[in-house]
Amino acid sequence: MVSRRILLGGLAAGLAAPVLAHAEGYQETRTPPVWKPKARRTAKALATQPGDKAALDKALKTVKPLEGAQAEDPTTVSGVQVQPAKPVPSISPDEALGRLKQGNAAFARGGASLVSPSIARIGEMAASERPFAVVVACSDSRVAPELLFNCNLGDLFVLRAAGPTVGPEALGAIVYAVDTLGASLVVVLGHTKCGVVGAAVDAATRKSRPTGVFEAMLAPILPAVFDAQGEKAADLHDAAARRNARNIASRLKVADGILAERIAQGRLKIVPATYDLTTAQVAFEA
């Protein structure tokens, strides 16, 4: 069994890898002129522990003015329409949070109004996207963010991985969604009865031993299981899922200089939440 200390160190080291410049959809937009310097600050800021105030302050000190980004703001490059360099978030973090809460309330009472957009509306959205929130969710087939938040195409920038987990590629995509697309809220969404978290619990309590690719899949979730064991929660399985979402949200707050800057300016919130498979309700920790 790998020790907790080694696992946590490995997790931090994994997150400290350089962020990929090719987030989802990236090739369809113009490269922001300040992308590479941001990535370097990201790598430096990632070698921190969750929720560390000193680390957050340190990350903020590394943030420099984004010179050049405001001056260059074309709507076309070689005749092709592109995203503006610095989009202004369409709504505030609290407004975004309220919209998700309202959407989930409608879904949970069976009043969701999701309908397929018209071809004309789809065509309008082809030119650019302005998602108001990022959702980091589990891959579980019962946890589709657009459905349970009563949202539609173009509303949410979604990253899904079993657990969930967030590696360097996903972190790059989150920063891209916030900085380039203008999202003002990141929700890290765990859920009850998560099969992957259950497997991590079994591994941590030595009921089973993961092998091959499953060992790497479960490793990022094991620290949350150890944390939940420390809480002495009645339901270790669901407590570990909640803790995993909290841990990811805490790490994201100090993982990148751009995200830390937006939080300090009141332009971004990162919120953990848990979806209950039985009631269809999302409990936000904010």
Does 137 interact with Zn ion (rule: CB under 5 A)?
A: no
The amino acid that residue 172 corresponds to is G
Using the rule CB under 5 A, give the single segment among 19-27, 77-85, 135-143, 250-258 that binds Zn ion: 135-143
Phi and psi at residue 142, in whole multiples of 5°?
-95, 5
Does 194 interact with Zn ion (rule: CB under 5 A)?
A: yes
Q: Is 267 helix (H, G, I), strand (E, B) or coil?
A: coil
Tell me whether residue 140 or residue 256 sits nearer to Zn ion (CB atom): 140
- Torsion sign, CA atoms 143, 144, 147, 149: positive
Tell me whether residue 158 or residue 260 sits nearer to Zn ion (CB atom): 158
The answer to whether 277 touches 142, Cβ cutoff 8 Å, is yes
Tell me whether residue 140 or residue 155 sits nearer to Zn ion (CB atom): 140
Using the rule CB under 5 A, give the single segment among 32-40, 89-97, 131-139, 265-273 that binds Zn ion: 131-139
The answer to whether 42 touches 255, Cβ cutoff 8 Å, is yes
- The closest alpha carbon to 196, from 229, 236, 163, belongs to 163
Half-sphere exposure of 278 (CA within 13 A, CB side): 3
Using the rule CB under 5 A, give the single segment among 40-48, 181-189, 194-202, 246-254 that binds Zn ion: 194-202
Tell me whether residue 129 or residue 238 sits nearer to Zn ion (CB atom): 238
Among 97, 137, 138, 219, indicate the residue that binds Zn ion (CB under 5 A): 138
Residue with tokens 């979604």: 158
Tell me whether residue 140 or residue 227 sits nearer to Zn ion (CB atom): 140
Using the rule CB under 5 A, give the single segment among 16-24, 140-148, 212-220, 259-267 that binds Zn ion: 140-148
Tell me whether residue 138 or residue 174 sits nearer to Zn ion (CB atom): 138
Q: Is 185 helix (H, G, I), strand (E, B) or coil?
A: strand
Does 218 interact with Zn ion (rule: CB under 5 A)?
A: no
Does 140 interact with Zn ion (rule: CB under 5 A)?
A: yes
Does 187 interact with Zn ion (rule: CB under 5 A)?
A: no
**Six-digit token string for 137:** 């969710």
Contacts of 56 (CB under 8 A, 6+ apart): 253, 254, 260
Residue 274 CB, shortest distance to Zn ion, in Å, is 11
Residues that bind Zn ion (CB under 5 A): 138, 140, 194
